[in-house]
Structure 1
Amino acid sequence: MRNGTDLYALDIGAASFVKACGGNTHPDGESCVTLARIGDDAWALGDSKRPDAQPLRFTTEELETAGIDPARFGLSA
């Protein structure tokens, strides 16, 4: 399993983010998050309302623990 330092050392410049929306509606529009696989057992999770913000990075286990299913984004774990 990777640690947090390893995850943030990965280059995400070429990452292909996929958006999933739903749940709470923000006053400025629907709440959406973006997810990209950035390596083996490594994911980047962003906020579509804040595209300039640095995405958070997680292992597959951490995503599962948080209840985030990559399949909802059309991605396989």
Structure 2
Amino acid sequence: MQNGTDLYGLDLGGASFVKACGGNTHPDGESCVTLARIGDDAWAVGDSKRPDAQPLRFTTGELGAAGIDPARFGLSA
């Protein structure tokens, strides 16, 4: 729980995921991740090759520590 918010308790129903590709190339195509803001300080990160997998969730600080910049997705932190 971060600042009293259970990240996995947040609803993804209205989340708008944006895809960014690059880096290592997967044998089946380019490596891509998806990112959506799901709260004031909450993000969901998914794998475009596994769209049915549950996205991982991060705070803005955790996202930055992981080296993921929302600006690369056209989103602002």
TM over 0.5: yes
Identity of paired residues, percent?
89
What amino acid maps onto 1:14 in structure 2? Answer: G
Moved over 6 A (4+): none
Counterpart residue number, 1:14: 14
Contact 1:2 1:41 in 2 (8 A): no
Structure 1 length-normalised TM: 0.94
RMSD: 1.4
Q: Tell me how far apart the structure 2 counterparts of residues 66 and 46 of structure 1 sit (CA, whole Å).
A: 14
Deviations 1:4-50 (A, max 9, x none): x7000000011000000000000100000000000010000000000
> With CA pairs under 8 Å and 6+ residues apart, which has the higher RCO, 1 or 2?
1
- What is the DSSP-based 3-state SS (H/G/I as helix, E as strand, rest coil) of the residue aligned with 1:54? coil
Asked if 1:46 corresponds to 2:46, the answer is: yes
5+ residue gaps, structure 1, are none
Asked if 1:69 corresponds to 2:62, the answer is: no
Count of residue pairs brought into register by the alignment? 76
5+ residue gaps, structure 2, are none
Q: Tell me how far apart the structure 2 counterparts of residues 17 and 51 of structure 1 sit (CA, whole Å).
A: 11
